[in-house]
Structure 1
Amino acid sequence: MPDRYADAVRARRAELRELRARLAGGHRAELRSCLALGRLAAAGEAAAALAALRREVAAHVRCGDRHVHEMLPIRLQGAVVAVAAAVVSSWGEGVRPPLRRIATERGLEVEPGWPPLPAPRAVRVPPATEPIEPLPSFLTGVAEGAALWRLALLPLAVLPLLGLPALGGPALTPLAVGAGGAAVVLAAVARRTAARRARLHRTAEQVLAAAAAAIDADLDRRTIELERAAAAALDTAVLCRRAAVDRELARLAAGSGAADG
């Protein structure tokens, strides 16, 4: 007749030995691996979000009007803060389950909210450091437009010198003057618009670069703080659990010896 008690004791001892092997200290390596993977995933998410934001900013700079351009730096700051918050939230949701799995596989008792994530800290992006250069004045644009207008009219002035009639004669003089004036104004406006867009684009690039650096630094800080706290908690729990396993193995060995005797 099989001895069911002895079979149960042997099965329990095998289970405890297997658990004892998992409590040998490999939890720290698994912890670092999980945190490294979480850090890489968060960095990729941040890069993708900032790239999408960069494309959106470029579209606003290219097609937006003056009001959109004036509001863009403020909106960009808010968008960067939102991206940083979303990345940190996703990072926390991604690293917590693997860390709990490390504890569960070793039979460790942890609290429902373990591991506690590092305290939130707002990611502050410094403003762009590009020196503010004055936009070209309207008079500067007018002067440049007038110079271009004179160059455009130069062939018409040379025609009489070559013995050729001027196109249209005096009848088209008012029209030519009006067209030239319009060209002067358009050149001035176009130059100021191009300068404003170029400055706005440089400012946005500086803000996005600073945001990427700030998000990376915050992720590094959170990863280091979480590793320290989780490693200390796991070390303590592993020691307690290993001591409990050793005591149970000793009791089973003593009971088995007494039964054999």
Structure 2
Amino acid sequence: MTDRIARDEHPAYRAPLRASRWRSRSAVLFMGASLSGCSRAITPPEPLVFTFDFDRGAQGFVADFADYPPEHAEIYELTADYRAIPPPLDSRSALFISGVNRSDDLFMFYRGALDGLTPGARYAATVSVEIATDTPSGCLGVGGAPGESVWIKAGVTAVEPLTVSDGSYLRMNVDIGSQSNSGTQAVVLGNVANSRACEEPRRWETKALAEQDVPASLLVPPDGRAWLLIGADSGFESLTQLYFTRASVTLTPP
């Protein structure tokens, strides 16, 4: 990013002197005006914006799953890949992810690198996501609604978001919160319910989720790489499937 430097032009003005005793004061005013005419106002560093349109490819994003026992992974039917979205959105492709929530708390996510940052720099991060979903609004389900009880989260982290063993379960190594609650490193953006009512035929739609601030600031590590995390935290105890179609990150210096 290149700082833009603006020059403010202030014409120096010197009033007529009425008496010799005002000469020193007028000289000071003249010098101040002249110096202000040479001053430069430097704008603060501009935010860094990363935008991912997954119709252009997976762009290095990798899928993973947390909050489930890996010994019983087969009953969770965990699936993730890059594929075309079903009709009527079949002209586009995106990041697909799917799973059956047997644990009442399945987290399905993708992670991708944000490279080229300045090591040691600190930023406030805001994130936004667009998804494709065929889950209607207002339905009832086991454990919660299939639309309103599956929450989309996003975050920006200095460490790579990975799963770690915690007893018999796999958990996240970063704080994503739990279900409808945000964590320090991931914020709830919305849910997967689309605009169609439960009694209507299912239909795939895109849903843009408004930009939100990540609670914790980002301190860039020595390698200059941070990570974007986008995922779905489910309280609905059955099958959830969706596509991540777009994601955006804005990093703002203090």
Q: TM-score under structure 1 normalisation?
A: 0.24
RCO (CA 8 Å, sep 6+): is it higher in 1 or 2? 1
Structure with bigger helix share is: 1
Larger Rg: 1
Structure with bigger strand share is: 2
